[in-house]
Chains A and B, each alone.
Chain A
Amino acid sequence: MPPQAALVNLSPAELSFLRSTLSQTPPLRLDVTKGPRDFRSMRAEYDVLPSANGSARIALEDGTEALVGVKAEVEKTPQTPVLGEQDDVDMSNGDEHSDGKGQGQNAWVQVGVDVPGFRDDDALPVFLASMLAESLLASGELKDRLYINRRFHWKLYIDILLLSPPLSYPLGLLSMTTHLALLTTHIPSLKSEKDEDPLFDDDWDAASPLYPKSTSKSSARDKPPVIILAIAVGPNIIFDPAKEELAVADAVLAIACTTSSSSSTGAKIVSIRTIDPPSHLTPPAVPNSMNSATGGTAPDSSAQALTMREMLATSGVWTPPRGGMKRGLVSQVTKMVVEKGGVAEEIIGALAGIETG
């Protein structure tokens, strides 16, 4: 059994108190100065690793800290046998295949996540790595940009390190750090032409950004995705939960989104996953009516205990939540994320601000 991530040791009474404060309107969060849509403050810097193509470090106020390095290496593309007419390697000046549209492969991006206290094959790092990788690959534009020519491509290694123990669920932090690192990643500019062996400009100032800045003001710049964590407590939706807030959540949703130039809304979704809320593992409380020490009567049989427990449902005594997430709630969360001026736009704008200013 792998160690549980960010399991808190709160008593049933504390859990019940936390839940009731979070489910009132407006919700009262653990940090009382924050509203349901506020994120924790952070310190961020980029280009911290001189030997990587792009890097970033973000530290949250609770002490969790993540470091991401992006490295690109030239790799040979395995040639697949082509049926029919075999076209020769192209050394001429024709400009077909030059943009690499639709040529990219999923294997060209490799994401590795290292969380202290977890083995590489534990559930948490595997889950984090696959969610980050699939949101990066969803649009297909990133992998097309890694295409050099028909014989060579860039292989992108994204290595994500959590420097502190996972004090809260680290998905949001890791994705924001990855976003910042990819935003500042530069790839040496190509000097060779067409299908020649690639030769690169050794001037670092001439390197082109992996996510190019848009030339015109009107079209939004293509950005790497960012993953936003949201929890539902009763009717309320709370973003960027702390560890204790996560422990009383009814449902947890991770939404990966990126800016969109085409649609009318502020962002588009590239991936959604539900996360098992840790509240399912919390111990149920024993009410006074079932405790002989507090004047109640202890149940005689297990069947009677079961019935008495089922009748407690709305009495405010802590019971771990059951079932899943209402469908209406899911669409409400996604709407809050993607709408114009929504959470996604806010986060992506804030991270872009770090890079430019």
Chain B
Amino acid sequence: MATNMDRRRNNAPSGGTHAPVFARTLREPEYLQTLRPTRARGQNELRRIYLQTGIVPSASGSAYLEIPSSTSISSSTLIKPASSLKIVASIQGPKPLPRSAPFSPSLLLTTTVKFAPFATRQRRGYIRDSTERDLGVHLETALRGVIIGERWPKSGVEVVLTILEGDEDGWWGDAHASGSGWGLLNVLAGCITVASAAITDAGIDCVDMVCGGVAALVRNPDSKDGKDLIKILDPCPVEHRDIVAACAVGYLASRDEVTEIWMKGDVGSDPDALIEGATHASVGSLSVVKEVLLESLQAKFQKQIENSQGAQKRKAEDVEMTG
């Protein structure tokens, strides 16, 4: 952590910043297990998605995505039981490259993914760490295949994503879950969806809308030996004790192609089912993105439509007068 220290600021302590649970106040040790959130949705049911475009006026395109947690927050404890996802994306450009930069035949894409320091239970520093850079590489892979870069030689575009609230890797009571990285897959899928909406808002030529989706294999908690696995779409890692494998994809629905696959865990020999589940999840988020973009487009051109209608009416009146 010492290398990641920002020396120009007064830094907060480098530990976690979660609220303490005093062991004395708990009557019985099983009490904590009653706080464990469980999945209330069906296996193929996604969480609700809130999306809005054009929220940063100074950027050429921007979008905000929010996936609220489905479990209701109980008032008896200070600790939030489940995590939610809140991401802001803004696009700068396409703008000309600086004179000092070497010639580039296509659009130079730069993706920056940054967690806000308060985004997760474990505090993040101000300087990007390796997981954030890794997410940036994944997002770049997902977007590079979609943007038609050859139409903008000698120019660059910056995609900047700030994660205000990120999905956790597991329930806070499970020690083994921290650092497993299951929450990052959800974050990546959200990043892909929101970045794609922002790019469309910026009006950059794309071959299709790319959308993110996640599917996971979890151990069935109801089974006796815990051997049988079930496939779930849009997993919230907090709600599952044992995630065996998970997959995030960036899916182009109309071309039936994937630009990005990130799969990890003990997948076995046949990853097709997991990839298919993730594409189903991404089709779900695509329907939301389409609605939102259509809405924002209508709002943007409402005035123009009204103006043109007004002009037509005047013209029609003119015709009446001469006729």
A284 touches B105 (CB 8 A): yes
The CA-CA distance from A280 to B207 in the complex, in Å, is: 13
Q: Could you say which residues of chain A place their CB within 8 Å of the CB of B146?
A: 323-324
**Cβ-based interface call for B293 (8 A):** no
A134 touches B181 (CB 8 A): yes
Q: Which of B28, B175, B260 has the most CB of A within 10 A?
A: B260
Residues of B20-41 contacting chain A, CB below 8 A: 23, 26, 28-29, 32
**Cβ-based interface call for B264 (8 A):** yes
Secondary structure class of chain A's binding surface, majority of residues: mixed
> What distance in Å separates the Cβ of B88 from its nearest Cβ neighbour in chain A?
22
Q: Which of A107, A134, A269 has the most CB of B within 10 A?
A: A269
The CA-CA distance from A228 to B298 in the complex, in Å, is: 48
**Cβ-based interface call for B108 (8 A):** yes
B264 touches A138 (CB 8 A): yes
B130 touches A126 (CB 8 A): yes
Known: A324-B258, A325-B257. A280 touches B145 (CB 8 A): yes
Known: A323-B257, A324-B145. A331 touches B266 (CB 8 A): no
Closest to A306 in B: B151
> What distance in Å separates the Cβ of A317 from its nearest Cβ neighbour in chain B?
12
**Cβ-based interface call for A265 (8 A):** yes
**Cβ-based interface call for B149 (8 A):** yes
B23 touches A326 (CB 8 A): no
Q: Could you say which residues of chain A place their CB within 8 Å of the CB of B262?
A: 272-274
Q: Which of B105, B145, B265 is in CB contact (< 8 Å) with A270?
A: B265
Q: Which of A134, A260, A264, A276 is in CB contact (< 8 Å) with B140?
A: A276
**Cβ-based interface call for B306 (8 A):** no
Interface locus among A79-87, A183-191, A207-215: A79-87
Known: A1-B110, A123-B137, A327-B257. A268 touches B23 (CB 8 A): no
B271-310 interface mask toward A, CB cutoff 8 Å, 1 = contact, 0 = none? 1100110010000000000000000000000000000000
B259 touches A274 (CB 8 A): yes
Q: How many residues of A contact B (CB 8 A)?
A: 55
Known: A80-B175, A138-B266, A270-B264. A324 touches B23 (CB 8 A): no
**Cβ-based interface call for B101 (8 A):** yes
**Cβ-based interface call for A60 (8 A):** no
Besides A281-B105, A326-B257, 6 other CB < 8 A contacts?
Answer: A80-B175, A123-B137, A123-B140, A270-B266, A280-B144, A322-B145
A-B contact pairs, 25 of them (CB 8 A): A106-B179, A121-B133, A126-B130, A126-B137, A127-B134, A135-B264, A268-B268, A271-B263, A273-B263, A274-B258, A274-B259, A275-B141, A280-B106, A283-B106, A322-B145, A322-B207, A323-B146, A323-B255, A324-B258, A327-B257, A327-B258, A327-B276, A331-B271, A331-B275, A334-B272
Seen from chain B, the residues whose Cβ lies within 8 Å of a Cβ on chain A are: 23, 26, 28-29, 32, 101, 104-106, 108, 110, 128, 130-131, 133-134, 136-138, 140-141, 144-146, 148-151, 175-176, 179-181, 207-208, 245, 247, 250, 252, 255-272, 275-276, 279
For the complex of A and B, the 3 pairs showing the least CB-CB separation, nearest first, are A283-B105, A324-B259, A84-B29
